[in-house]
Structure 1
Amino acid sequence: MPPNLHHLIREATRLTRVGDLTGATRAIQQALGNGATPANDVIDVEAREVRDLALPGRDAVDSRLRGNDERGGNDGEGANDATARPPTPEAFIAGRFGGPDLLGRDYKLYIPPDAAHQPRPLVLMLHGCTQDPDDFARGTRMNELAREEGAFVLYPAQAQRANAQRCWNWFKHSHQARGRGEVQLLADMVRDVIASHAIDASRVYVAGLSAGGAMAANLVAAFPELFAAVGVHSGLPAGAAQDLQSGLAAMKQGPRNAGTVLAVPAIVFHGDADNVVHPANGDAVIKAASGSDALVATETGTTKGRRFTRRLHADRDGGRVRAEHWVVHGAGHAWSGGSARGSYADAIGPDASAEMLRFFREHARG
C-alpha cells in the first residue's frame, strides 16, 4: 500500500461527493497500488495536499454546478424545471489534478455565474516564470473579463520542485510531445475539467505569458484536436528549443527554425522593446500558425498612450483570418493592458486579455 493511503481515500471520497467519478476511480486505483508513474517523465516534485478555498457554501455550489438539488422532499420533481434551479454563483476555487504523485499539479479554476445551465467556453491560462495562478489572474484581469464572457478559466500552477523559478519546462524535449511530461499533464488536466463541468468541448482555448506562452504553443502543437485557438504573449514558437542552452539562445536572439506548424488559429502579443524574449519569436509563432506571409489587413493605433501595429493573416485559401499579430511599440516583457496588481503586467497599451477573448469567440473548433 502507498504511504499516502489515507490521503487518497479522502480524495476519492471528496471526488465522489462532487460527482467526479473518473477522478475518484483514479484515486482508488492509486490507493490500491495501481497508480504507477510513467517512467519517461522527468518531473520531480514533492507531494503535498492542497485544500480547496474556504468559500461560503462551497458544497452547495459544487452540487448546483452539477445540477444536483440536495434540498430533498420532492423525489426529483421539478428537476428539469429551469425555474426550480437557483442561479449558481461565481467562484474561484483551488484544486489539484493528478493526485499526490510526481505528476500532480495544483490549480485554480474560475467558474462564471450560472455556469451549470448551458455549456461554456474554457480558457487555460499558463503563467510565466516566478508567477502563480492568483498573481496571473490579478495581472491579466482574465477572471473579470471571463465573467462577462461567461467562460471558465483554468490556471495550473507550476511546481517549484519541477523548476526552481516555477517556469513551465517548454525548452525541454521531454515536455513537448504527446504522452510525455508537462504537455501531457496539462492536456489531461483540461480533459478532466471538461468532464467535471458544463464546458463546450468545441470552445477550449489556451493562452500564456513568456514561458507559459511557449508552453501554450507546445501544447496546441501536440494536441490540436483539444484546442480551438491559442494566445501567445511574449512567448516562443513550439519546438524552438530542445534544452536549456538552445532555449536561452532562442530567447535572446530568436528561434533558429520556424517552429512546429500550429494547426489552430493564433493571436500573438509581443512588445518590440522586450529584452527578455526577442520579438522575433512572435513573428515565428505567427508564421507557424498562418502557414504563409499573406496579410489581409494592417492596422495601427494608440491605446492608453501606447502605439501598436496589428496585422491579420489569412488562411491558405485567403479567406478566414487565421493569425493575428499585435506588436506593442515601446512595451517590454509584460502583459499588455494588464493590472499593476499582478507581476509582469503593463497597465497601458491594448488590452491583451480582451482581445484574446474576442479572438477566441471568433474561432470554435469544427
Structure 2
Amino acid sequence: MPTSLIHHPYTPPADFEAVPPGVFKASSVLFPNVAALRERRWDDKSAYTYGLHGTPTTFTLGARLATLEGARHVLLAPSGLAAITLVDMALLKAGDEVVLPDNVYGPSLSFAAHELVQWDIAHRLYDPMALPSLAAALTPATRLVWLEVPGSVTLEFPDLRALVRCVRERAPQAVIALDNTWGAGLAFNAFELGEEGGVDLTVHALTKYPSGGADVLMGSIACLDDALYQRLAWCHSRSGVGVGMNDVEAVLRGLPSLALRYAAQDAACRRIAAWCCTQKTFVRVLHPALPEAPGHAHWAALCQAAAGLVTVEIDPRFSQTQTDAFVDALRLFRIGWSWGGPVSLAVPYEAAQMRRLPTPYRGTLVRLCIGLESVEDLIADLTQALAVLQSLAGPETL
C-alpha cells in the first residue's frame, strides 16, 4: 500500500486555469531520463533542475517582478538584506572597494564594516547630497557603488541621474546598485534615467510593499545585463540561497494590489506630513514631496509617487527619554521595524549615532511608517501623544 500511494499513476488534466498562479513545492525535481538530467540548465530559467534553483512558482514571481522593475532578470533571496549581501559577495573580491552613501540602510554598512573587511574588501562613504563627495570616494579599486533613494530614515533625495553619471565617468569599471525598496518599482524606473541609462541592478525588500501583509521576509535582485545576471545567479546557487514557496505565494497574492496600496499610503503620508509641519514640536519634517525637504527638486524631477514614510525631528529641547515617552504614548502607531504593511509604525532614532559624516539633525528623529488606517485617526493618535510629550516637559522646554 505505501508504494502505490507514493507512485500513484494518476496525473491531473493539464487544462486547469485560475486567477492565482499554482504553488509548486519541491526539493527534488524529477527527470524522465539521465540524458535530461545531464542536459537541463537552471541558470537561464529554461528548465528545472532542483527546488533551490527554481520552480514554476518562483519563476512566475521573478517574471512579474522583472516587469515591475523594468528589468530582464530577477533572483529571489530570503530577505532584502540577504539580497544586498549576495550582491556584495558576488561582485567583490579581496583588494576591491565598495562605496556606500552615508545614509545607507544600516545593516548594509554593518556588513561592509564587519564581514567585507575580513575579506580584505574596503568600503568608503560619501554624502549623496554632495556630488564632489562621491567623486572623491571613487578610486581605481572601486568595483561596486551603492545608491539609496531616498536615504534611510532621513529620506534625503539625491540627484540620482548625476550620481549615476559621476560613477560612469570616474569609475566605469564599477557596478552601480540601487536599493529600490522605497520606490517599489512604481516611483521611477531605475534602469531608464535618461542619457545616463540607469543603474546596473536594483535590490528590493519584497518584505515591504510587494508583500503588504507584514508577514513575509523576502528580497529580490533585478538587472538587465545577461553577464551580470550570470555572476549573480552562480553566487546565488553556490551560497544556497532559497525562498519558501508559501512565502512566494504570499508575495504573488500581494502584487495585484501593490499599486493601489502604494498610492493610498502615499496619499495618506502626504497629508500626515503636511499636518506635522504645523506642529511646533517637530522642528523638521522629512518627506521628499515637501518643498523644504532635502532634495525635493530632485524628487520632483524624477518621481510623482513618494511612498508612505515620513520622519520628524523632535525639538532638541526634549530629551531622548521624553521622545521615547511620546512614541510609547502612541496607540494606533505600533512600535516596530519595517514598513509597507497595513499597520502604521513608529521608531525613534538618534541621528548622531546613525551617521559617520556630519549631520544637521540635533534632536531625536522619529520615523513614521503609514499603514492603511484612517488618516484622521492617525492624526488624532499623534495629537494625543504630543500632549503626553508636552506634559512631561520641564520649564526649560516650554
Bin of the TM-score, shorter chain as denominator length: under 0.3
Which structure carries more relative contact order (alpha carbon 8 Å, separation 6+)?
2
The structure where strand makes up a greater share of residues is: 1
TM-score by length of 2: 0.26
CA radius of gyration, larger in = 2
TM-score by length of 1: 0.27
The structure where helix makes up a greater share of residues is: 2
